[in-house]
Chains A and B, each alone.
Chain A
Amino acid sequence: MIPGSFDYHRPKSVAEATGLVARYGDTARVIAGGHSLIPMMKLRMTDLDHLVDLQDIGELRGISVNGQSVEIGAMTTQHELIASEVLTEVAPIITEAALQIADPQVRYMGTIGGNVANGDPGNDMPGLMQCLDATYTLSGPDGTRDVKARDFYEAAYFTAREEEEILTKIYFQANGAGYAYEKQKRKIGDYATAASAVLIAKEGDVCSFASIAMTNLADTPIYADAASSELVGSGLDQAAIDAAVAAAIDAIDPAEDNRGPIEFKKHVAGVILRRAIERAISRA
């Protein structure tokens, strides 16, 4: 497994990077951690002439937490997310999810930006970002713009990001809700058979807020709006949970692969979601 040739660029700033991407157009790709891109290049399923390495761009790194406002630079690694005490404090669901991504070595290299930007339906962070209602900032030749995670994903590997844009940061408002990221996989290093991200808040015994997203159960992450609605206003009783699970199953569209056929995935998605909801409730 040997990758094809390319010219290598290591810009020092976002402006320089977007300039390179604009100049070389669709013959260029940016590389963050590279643990999705490099295997594809080794399998010669991705061919490019120019590789733009973002590792030296300091402005793309770092986690800043200001009250409940969280901003994460695109080049922040999964390992850094897990190690960040402030982030774990305000958004523990990120830590819980990041620990279930790949393996230790991959988490040292894999970045949150790469994970959300490349549009691989197997990645865990996109669904999680939809659950958190995060916003992505994209930089291009014409400046920056923001896109909601919930509006970003169009199809497998197709997103709202234009070819000449670079995803630079992710931000969201944490809300202290009960949380759970539940993932079934065949082994460490595997993508999810089914995974779900759940946030639930209560006022008294009544659910005041719910957000549910599902991973690797369609060709994009699925923000299960209808499922969340079933919970909000309910007493989080069995009937409400049943209705939420049913709505989420309705929203997903899994494909058969080596993990199993559609029927199985739908069933497991329901079980996983139910467990996530119950765990989130227990933490709400």
Chain B
Amino acid sequence: MNDMTPEDRKSALKGMGTSRKRVEDARFTQGKGNYVDDIKLPGMLFGDFVRSPYAHARVTSVRKDTAMALPGVIAVLTAEDLAPLGLHWMPTLAGDKQMVLADGKVLYQGQEVAFVVAENRYIAADAVELVEVEYEELPVVTNPFKAMDADAPTLREDIAGKMDGAHGPRKHNNHIFTWEQGDKEATESVLSGADVVAEEMIYYHRTHPCPLETCGSVASMDKVNGKLTLYGTFQAPHAVRTVASLISGIAEHNIRVISPDIGGGFGNKVGVYPGYVCSIVASIVTGKPVKWVEDRMDNLMTTAFARDYHMHGKISATTDGKITGLWCHTTADHGGFDACADPTKFPAGFMNICTGSYDIPVAYLAVDGVYTNKAPGGVAYRCSFRVTEASYFIERMMDILAIKLDMDPVELRMKNFVRKDQFPYQSALGWEYDSGDYHTAMDKALKAVGYDNLRKEQAEKLAAFKAGESRSLMGIGTAFFTEIVGAGPVKNCDILGLGMFDSCEIRIHPTGSAIARLGTISQGQGHATTFAQILASEIGIPADDITLEEGDTDTAPYGLGTYGSRSTPVAGAATAMAGRKIRAKAQMIAAYLLEVHDDDVEFDIDRFVVKGAPERFKTMKEIAFAAYNQAIPGIEPGLEAVSYYDPPNMTYPFGAYICVMDVDVDTGVADIRSVYALDDCGTRINPMIIEGQVHGGLTEALAIAMGQEIAYDEMGNVKTGTLMDFFIPTAWETPNYITDHTTTPSPHHPIGAKGVGESPNVGGVSMFSNAVHDAFRPFGLTQSHMPHDHWRIWKTANQLGLHG
């Protein structure tokens, strides 16, 4: 080690900035992952739900005897059985409550009515068929605007007439909340006197995160020791433990929650579902471990959906394109229960980031949450809370305003970007953007794609189309997004009263290797790889010598989990801060060993050296050993640290995305020709992983923009319950992506990192949708609703008279 150059010593650490190969991959590539359905405990039973075929109905009777008579059936639970325990309802993360099992009525198709427990999943499925449920159908409301009609049927009879909701007054039995931000009066005054106003209804349709692994849990109640162990697909295991304790009455120290390997989350695994609760109750009732794993249809129909925001917007500008104001009223369709996963004070998440990347002097946002006969949810599907909706809204409004002004959409964006010298920037809707350099990013993107030439080519293609020489239109989609991630400061972000800090605990072993545990949980992000890299750079121990653990509440420090791109901004910061505590103690040990004053040594990659005498040093390995075998005056033995990090602000990643597509006006098929994505996520910890995250997020964005939806018919039947109809692109439909970056470190984050996993979804959806719109812009299209599947694109062409 002494012979190595500083560069060699640094690269041996595989610290920040290295495309370190993932340590998780050995088990995953060899079939040795451990997902919840892989867990098999002795005597384990299997639970399955009887689900409602109706979207709105009274449940007049549930008869279990035929099912109970089937050999191998152990129990059939209904709301009546759960009521004495107070578990027939459960609190949601949004301050509402949700039925665990149908309590007299059902509010959406697929709602859980009874829970069958049997010796295996085959018997359970047979028994589900034998439970006889009588329903009395009620009128169905699937349209959130109609839900607010004076004569609309009351969906939530349990809170009928109770007009004070969790987020302020309710104005209708089907109304959940009104959330207002900004200055209404000033905004409306600016709009009424503006040179130009563009107004549009932007609908971001209902979709679903659909991770490849569905949700599930295994509950094991050890009655001898009074301990409950709960394995499950939890993006926030610690919060699940607290909620489980609060609703079950089991003391929190007697509950151990374990998130094993998780097969993708994307927001779907943030919430608490009836299946989790029922597996716990069933284990308590039967005294045996009980597994519940939903199937794909259950997953798409009942566990948390995303989006479903109807965003009515107005944006005003001067005739030369300087934006003067923004107004937005959103009607949010929450389904039968308000089970959004947002910080408590933000019932519409961070929708108030909807001024985007632009310097808009005055703005107003109001969101009305509404109940309908659809599944509950409203989770952040690969985005921070409602940031995708906000970004889509402003990026569509920018394109629509550009049409109104007869301007190029990029020119309009450039004209209105928050300038580099304006950061930290106070937005009209209340956020302080920490840092950014939007013009540089956009310029780099334009050059990379040859924007001017693309526009020229587009004009030629258009001329050919108009001359009848071609039936295809070229669309150029541009999007510039600013995200708000890393919730968040405890002073304004909590979930169920739990502050949204995160944590890291480090123990250095005597031989100089280490274990670190975090309050987060990876679902594919590669935390075990990247957090070790942060530590390697901070404490000078090679990443390969650091074990990372997450997801076991008995061993990991408390944290709020992984969603909303919060792991790197919050837990990543905690990791760096815990590392710095280690380093501070290591410095004292080194000084003692080198017989100099603490201030006379300094950290150098993997060691402490005497200032001005670099040949005198102690490596971290030597220091670690000394921490365990030397009696150092005034210093406790051992080398451990823990940090709970409460970030001073969110982080604001941004990016410039441009794609080109060719739209066949006759078939509605859109062929994606090229996609360029420039991301600025601040300090880059592992470029390989960042790039992988961007590829994946772009593909999810492609799916959402071009075909993926949870659609209902008027009876409230889900029309997209399998992967035949719920669009997930295969390798064949997915294009290649070009990724790029600029680096603007976060000024308040210990290592300057901002989070990246969700940026490509936030920017990508707008980019793809804008490209479709751009193709039709010459024919007068201002807005058409996603998803842009073949028939909707065809319909646009048809309505514009392009079919002759």
Give the B-binding residues of A (Cβ under 8 A). Answer: 1-2, 4-5, 44, 103, 184, 186-191, 193, 258-261, 264, 267-268, 271-272
Contact = CB atoms under 8 A, between A and B. Distances in A.
Interface string B705-723: 0010001000000011001
Interface in B723-765: 723-725, 727-730, 732-733
Contacts of A4: 126, 129
30 contacts: A1-B295, A1-B296, A4-B126, A4-B129, A5-B126, A184-B667, A186-B707, A187-B729, A187-B732, A188-B733, A189-B730, A193-B790, A193-B791, A258-B711, A258-B719, A258-B720, A259-B790, A260-B789, A260-B790, A260-B791, A261-B791, A264-B668, A264-B795, A267-B794, A267-B798, A267-B803, A268-B668, A268-B790, A268-B794, A271-B667
Contact of B790 (A1, A5, A44, A186): A186
B167 interface: no
Given A258-B719, A271-B667, A186 B122 contact: no
Given A258-B719, A264-B795, A187 B727 contact: yes
B789 A186 contact: yes
Nearest to B296: A1
A5 B125 CA distance: 11
B180 interface: no
A122 to B, nearest CB: 10
Contact of B727 (A186, A264, A268, A271): A186
Contacts of A259: 790-791
Nearest to B126: A4
B621 interface: no
Contact of B733 (A187, A260, A268): A187
Contacts of A193: 790-791
B121 interface: yes
Contacts of A184: 667, 669, 790
Nearest to A1: B295
A103 B730 CA distance: 10
A162 to B, nearest CB: 30
Interface in B92-137: 121-122, 124-126, 129
Contact of A1 (B124, B297, B711): B297
A242 to B, nearest CB: 12
B794 A188 contact: no
A189 to B, nearest CB: 7
Given A103-B730, A184-B667, A189-B724, A264 B125 contact: no
Contact of B666 (A2, A187, A267): A267
A186 B122 CA distance: 33
B790 A2 contact: no
A88 to B, nearest CB: 21
Nearest to B124: A2
Contacts of A268: 666-668, 790, 794
Contacts of B296: 1
Given A184-B669, A268-B794, A2 B730 contact: no
Nearest to B703: A187
A2 B126 CA distance: 8
A188 to B, nearest CB: 5
A170 to B, nearest CB: 26
4 nearest CB pairs, A to B: A260-B791, A2-B125, A264-B791, A271-B666
B37 to A, nearest CB: 14
A4 B798 CA distance: 46
Contacts of B669: 184
A189 B711 CA distance: 20
Nearest to B791: A260
Contacts of B129: 4, 44
Given A184-B669, A190-B724, A2 B794 contact: no
B132 to A, nearest CB: 16
Contacts of A103: 730
Contacts of B794: 260, 264, 267-268
Contacts of B297: 1
Contacts of B724: 189-191
Nearest to B665: A271
Given A188-B730, A188-B732, A271-B667, 4 more contacts: A2-B121, A258-B720, A260-B789, A264-B795
Interface in B302-351: none
Contact of A187 (B126, B711, B730): B730
A267 B725 CA distance: 21
A187 B126 CA distance: 33
Nearest to B48: A2
Contacts of A258: 711, 719-720, 725
B743 to A, nearest CB: 36
Nearest to A191: B724
Q: Which of A184, A186, A259, A268 has the most CB of B within 10 A?
A: A186
Contacts of B125: 2
A4 B125 CA distance: 8
A200 to B, nearest CB: 21
Contacts of B803: 267
A272 B668 CA distance: 12
A50 B606 CA distance: 70
A55 B795 CA distance: 46
A187 B730 CA distance: 7
Nearest to A272: B667
Contacts of B122: 2
Interface string B126-152: 100100000000000000000000000
Interface in B625-682: 666-669
A41 to B, nearest CB: 11
Contacts of B789: 186, 260
Nearest to B723: A189
A50 to B, nearest CB: 18
A188 B707 CA distance: 13
Contacts of A5: 126
Contacts of B727: 186-187
A44 B296 CA distance: 15
A260 B669 CA distance: 13
B724 to A, nearest CB: 7
B231 to A, nearest CB: 22
Contacts of B798: 267
Contacts of A189: 723-724, 730
A209 B220 CA distance: 71
Contacts of B707: 186-187
Contacts of B121: 2
Nearest to B725: A258
A271 B472 CA distance: 13
A135 to B, nearest CB: 31
A260 B795 CA distance: 10
B130 to A, nearest CB: 12
Interface in B769-785: none
Contacts of B668: 264, 268
A264 B799 CA distance: 12
A36 B727 CA distance: 20
A188 B711 CA distance: 21
A241 B237 CA distance: 64
Contacts of B126: 2, 4-5
Q: Which of A103, A258, A264 has the most CB of B within 10 A?
A: A258
A259 to B, nearest CB: 7
A52 B728 CA distance: 34
A258 to B, nearest CB: 5
Nearest to A265: B791
Q: Which of A188, A189, A261, A267 has the most CB of B within 10 A?
A: A267
Nearest to B803: A267
Nearest to A5: B126
Q: Which of B667, B719, B798 has the most CB of A within 10 A?
A: B667
A193 B794 CA distance: 13
A190 to B, nearest CB: 7
Interface in B431-449: none
Contacts of A264: 668, 790-791, 794-795
A132 to B, nearest CB: 25
B121 to A, nearest CB: 6
